[in-house]
Amino acid sequence: MDAKMGRVRSALLAAGRGLVLSVVALAGSITLFVLTVLSIAFIPLGIGLVTTPQVLEAVRKHANQRRLMAITWSNVRIPVPYRPFPKDVRSGFTGQVERTTLMLKDPATWRDIQWLLVDMTAGYAVAVLASALMLYPVEGIVLAAGLWRVYTDDRYWYAFVPVDSQGTALLAAALGVVLFTAGVFLSNPLLRAHFMIARSVLAPTHERELAQRIERLTETRHEAVDTAASELRRIERDLHDGAQARLVAMGMNLGTVEALIEKDPEQAKKLLAMARESSAEALTELRDLVRGIHPPVLAERGLGDAVKALALRLPIPCEVDVELTGRAGAPVESAAYFAVSEALTNAVKHAGAERIWVDLHHGEGALRFSVTDNGKGGATVGAGSGLSGIERRLGTFDGIMAVSSPAGGPTMVTMEIPCELS
């Protein structure tokens, strides 16, 4: 019984999401397609040089929002194929011309425009069907409950059933039950089909995707080398300024104790107590340092328990949901652990959240994990932000990150690393 109710709830959720997608497909995709066509058409007049970058940027945000929905709602991954802008792009009108040229030369731009057409037609139809199978049956039930009497002067059609009496109204209700039953089994597959249609258009070709992965891995390799060097300097600095300094001071105190143990036993006892405190503090600092390199709980009990232990140390409530049937490689677990740790730190420090949710699971050859908070939102990925550091860390393993953080919240950071569990 619980399994059946769970299936019905899941289908109703898929229907609601399908309704949202159908509205977005009509209102968003049609509007952006018209604006894009007009903006490109006005380029020879000069107006399009100013408007095209902004319009195409809006199209990219629209497509990226769909990518985020695809991975969070149906576990469908749609790669982000946009070419980055050179760092030396100028400002002013000349910069607008450069940006327009670069965006129009990017094959991903034309795939986005094609997707807008597909989204407002096939994508819309599939999304509407996913919601209609669960919502349309309500009308059949209401007709059988007595609403059919309103249409006594004019025959009313419920699908292919003409409703003009209580008997035909009951037939409409029976058809509604059949449609609802079909919706329970088909709404989720239809929702996934909507995202698969989007992926078929938005995703780059296999050759282009391989080229992008090579470029990304080359870039992240250099970043990994720089990060490792920076981490090594941090460890050396922490050892020099912390544990090493305390151990040196402890050695000096013990040397003084040797000289005073017979002449001034009381002073020697005080120095021994200080040395004992210094040794305890040095041990604590060494443990903290080791935990920052690779937490013992991560090595001993795995990623799930390590994240749960991390959540227990937070100053605000944090729920952790783990569905892992095995363990990933140690480097992947370490990257995922510190990515979650950084995301949690950002949520605590900057989001003003009252509650945090962490989800960890594995599927389709990838470790997926997300951190969601009910804070104020507005998180962005940019130079100097903690999220950009997470993106670099994941990039070393060909991982990806998606951020949804509208003003007012909530914020969801979804991350993925390709790997297999053992």
Helix (H) or strand (E) segment spanning residue 174: helix 166-202
Q: What is the pLDDT along the chain (422 residues), one digit of tens a residue?
A: 666 777 888 888 888 899 999 999 888 999 999 999 999 998 888 888 888 888 998 999 899 889 888 888 888 888 777 877 766 655 655 667 778 888 888 888 999 999 999 999 999 999 999 888 887 777 777 777 766 666 666 667 767 777 767 777 777 778 778 888 888 888 889 999 999 999 989 887 666 666 656 666 666 565 555 555 555 565 566 555 555 666 666 677 677 766 767 777 777 777 777 777 767 666 666 665 555 555 677 777 888 888 888 888 888 888 888 888 888 888 888 888 888 888 888 888 888 888 898 998 888 788 888 888 888 887 777 655 667 777 777 777 778 888 877 777 788 888 888 888 87
Smallest CA-to-CA distance from 147 within 128, 129, 170 is with 170
Structure tokens at 219: 């870039």
pLDDT at 227: 55
What's the rounded Cα separation, in Å, for the pair 1 and 382? 48
Residue ranges of the domains in the chain?
2-204, 207-293, 298-418
pLDDT at 35: 94
Place of tokens 């460890």: 235
DSSP string, 186-215: HHHHHHHHHHHHHHHHHSPPHHHHHHHHHH
pLDDT at 151: 64
Smallest CA-to-CA distance from 410 within 377, 362, 371 is with 377
pLDDT at 411: 85
pLDDT at 284: 65
pLDDT at 287: 61
Q: Please answer whether residues 33 and 56 qualify as being in contact, where contact means their C-beta atoms are separated by less than 8 angstroms.
A: no
**Which amino acid belongs to residue 3?**
A
DSSP string, 404-420: E--TT--EEEEEEEE--
pLDDT at 331: 80
Smallest CA-to-CA distance from 244 within 234, 236, 233 is with 236
Q: Is the pTM of this model over 0.85?
A: no
Q: Please answer whether residues 89 and 101 qualify as being in contact, where contact means their C-beta atoms are separated by less than 8 angstroms.
A: no
Q: Which residues contact 127 (CB under 8 A, 6 or more apart)?
A: 18, 19, 21, 22, 25, 190, 191, 194
pLDDT at 36: 93
Alpha helices in 203-295, H assignment, sequence order: 206-238, 244-260, 265-293
What's the rounded Cα separation, in Å, for the pair 22 and 34? 18
pLDDT at 65: 87
What's the rounded Cα separation, in Å, for the pair 364 and 309? 27
User: What DSSP state is assigned to residue 62?
Assistant: H
Q: Please answer whether residues 124 and 26 qualify as being in contact, where contact means their C-beta atoms are separated by less than 8 angstroms.
A: yes
- The Cα-based distances of 347 to 13, 32, 293, 368, 387 in angstroms read 27, 33, 22, 19, 11
Work out the end-to-end distance of the chain between its first and last CA atoms, rounded to an integer number of angstroms.
34
Peptide bond connecting 410 to the previous residue in cis, omega within 30 degrees of 0? yes
Q: Please answer whether residues 409 and 401 qualify as being in contact, where contact means their C-beta atoms are separated by less than 8 angstroms.
A: no
At residue 197's C-alpha, the angle toward residues 192 and 199, to 5°, is 95
User: What DSSP state is assigned to residue 401?
Assistant: E
Residue 287's Cα: distance from chain center in Å? 32
Among 3.30.565.10, 3.40.50.620, 3.90.25.10, 3.40.640.10, name the CATH number for the domain at 298-418.
3.30.565.10
What's the rounded Cα separation, in Å, for the pair 267 and 272? 9
Q: Please answer whether residues 335 and 370 qualify as being in contact, where contact means their C-beta atoms are separated by less than 8 angstroms.
A: no
